[in-house]
Amino acid sequence: MAQRIVQALENLSRELGIAVLTPEYELLIALLAAGSLATEELCEQSALSRSGFFHALDRLKHWQLIDCAPDPHDRRRKCYHLVPEVAAILANNLRAFSETEGREAMQGTGRADPAAAERPAPGPGGYTSLRLPHLTCDYQILLHLYYRPGACNGAVAGAITASPTTFHAALTRLVGMGLVVRHDDASDKRRKRYDLARPVREAIARANRVVAEWSG
């Protein structure tokens, strides 16, 4: 069933025209769905360049989130799989995302902390952080507006993990792509408020339903 979640996220990314998951989390979710993948198979499931893929793979190995073993059918090949504890955490987090409609999941988007990545920390609402960012800045903005429509610039900036420069560039890009709609505050014309375009809201809702069906 995890494969359906992977497919839903891939469809969402294509539909919106932005990356949803960070490179490391993209690989973790692919391994959750497949159980075990050879290096080339895992690389094919990634949107990263070949060098970017191996950099992400090395980081996950260094943080002890994945492990590898010889392929039982071909000892010359390496097969990667999630550390059992990490697989359980990812599955639990997807359920927590569904049960809380993603609100606690937003709290797991903090910046990577390599020293702490090896020690998953429990979070609110059943969500357990792996101490590495899992949603891109673009999708953090969209997801926040999904749950907080009409939020002002400062509220959105305070809810995501990105530098002010990165945040403003991402928000400007999303508005330019037509994914986010900017309008004046009814009570203060100097303040701008933001909403999702209807197709974006519908696309996120469809992806969330897949997670809900899986957790059920």
Q: Which CATH architecture has domain 21-134?
A: Orthogonal Bundle (1.10)
Strand ranges for the chain from DSSP E: 37-38, 66-71, 74-82, 121-122, 128-129, 151-152, 180-184, 192-196
Q: Taking the CA of residue 216 as centre, how many other CA atoms within 13 Å lie in the half-sphere pointing to its CB?
A: 6
CATH number of the domain at 137-216, out of 3.30.470.10, 1.10.10.10, 1.10.260.40, 1.10.3720.10? 1.10.10.10
Q: Would 21-134 and 137-216 be classified into the same CATH topology? A: yes
Tokens (6 digits) for 212: 């809900």
CA distance 216 to 97: 12
Tokens (6 digits) for 147: 């749950």
pLDDT (tens digit per residue) in 134-183 = 889 999 999 999 999 999 989 999 988 889 999 999 999 999 999 999 99
**65 or 48, which is more confident?**
65
Going from N- to C-terminal start, the domains of the chain cover: 21-134, 137-216
Residue with tokens 């505050």: 185
pLDDT (mean) for 122-141:
72
pTM: 0.74
